[in-house]
Structure 1
């Protein structure tokens, strides 16, 4: 995707993907809200992916065939969570669409419109 910058916090080396200074995908640190229900261990491979709307978020997390989830910490936040260990459950096409949609949800209107026109998706 165009105009993407990637940076990682020095202490964690977890990348943050941004467009126009706005994050659209990042790899989060283990947090108490995302954990293995059997062991209580915090997931160390959670990826946060922005979505366009609450409706899109609910569609992704309510479809049991998808590996996406959310936690109460993300209530009202336009994003879904995905464990890196489950990314293989998505096809390349599905993952591409989710990442493109995340970029589009955070890019400026001009950048988004230009990209959509260039790819004949508008």
Structure 2
């Protein structure tokens, strides 16, 4: 089972990541911009920023680690079930989300 602490540890491998809050929940930010947040809603999960195509691919994959709710329809965000996600895949998702929010000076 992946915990919030594991998520923070994975994301902290990326430059200038800070653990913070976003919508009053634990979150990860780079340059003050959120790219992942822990949900406190009944379904739980970790909301991760992604492109619309990536979201569609993850949801279409049938992998139970990825889901969404109507609240996120039309948004480039997918919900990750931390109990089911592969850690390497989570690392990749966090890195891609970070890249979407990081300032150009941090991208290499």
Shift of 1:66: 5.1
List alignment gaps of at least 5 residues for structure 2: 1-13
Among candidates 58, 73, 76, match of residue 75 of structure 1: 73
Compute the displacement of 1:8 (Å): 4.3
Q: CA RMSD in A?
A: 1.8
Structure 1 SS opposite 2:15: coil
Task: Give the equivalent residue in structure 1 for 2:30.
Answer: 19
The unaligned stretches of length 5 or more in structure 1 are 31-41, 115-122
> Is 1:98 paired with 2:93?
yes
Stretches (4+) displaced over 4 A: none
Please say if 1:2 is aligned against 2:1. Answer: no
More strand by share: 2
TM-score, structure 1 normalization: 0.68
**How many residues are treated as equivalent by the alignment?**
94
CA deviation digits over 1:51-80, x for unaligned, max 9? 1x2111101111013511111110111110
Larger radius of gyration: 1
1:23-68 deviation digits (Å, cap 9, x = unpaired): 11110121xxxxxxxxxxx22x3210011x2111101111013511
Correspondence for 1:119: none
Identify which of structures 1 and 2 has the higher relative contact order when contacts are C-alpha pairs closer than 8 Å and 6+ apart.
Answer: 2
